[in-house]
């Protein structure tokens, strides 16, 4: 699991775009590229988590369909 919804309180700040998160923030764990190095989890907004996982070309469509919302 690389991303999941959190129950953090509202008005958390997204650690990627620095915006306030209006909806449930997501915990996102960047993929591990370096062996023996555990990436830190970041608290991000919905837009950032979709963009990170699906890429900037596809994330809007996935957001509309709520792909991540159902699976994690």
Positions that interact with Zn ion (CB under 5 A) = 14, 16-17, 45, 48
- CA-closest candidate to residue 23, choices 2, 42, 41, 6: 6
34 neighbors 16 (Cβ within 8 angstroms): no
6 phi/psi in degrees, rounded to 5:
-115, 170
Of 11 and 34, which has the nearer Cβ to Zn ion?
11
* Least distance in angstroms from the C-beta of 34 to Zn ion: 24
* Least distance in angstroms from the C-beta of 16 to Zn ion: 5
Alpha-carbon 19 to chain mean position: 13
Of 35 and 68, which has the nearer Cβ to Zn ion?
68
* Least distance in angstroms from the C-beta of 8 to Zn ion: 14
């Amino acid at each position: 699991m690389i991303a999941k919804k959190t129950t953090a309180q509202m008005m958390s700040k997204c650690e990627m775009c620095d915006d306030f998160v209006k909806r449930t923030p997501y915990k996102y764990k960047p993929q591990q590229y370096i062996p023996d190095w555990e990436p830190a989890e970041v608290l991000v907004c919905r837009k950032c988590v979709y963009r990170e996982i699906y890429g900037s070309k596809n994330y809007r469509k996935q957001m509309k369909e709520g792909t991540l919302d159902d699976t994690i």
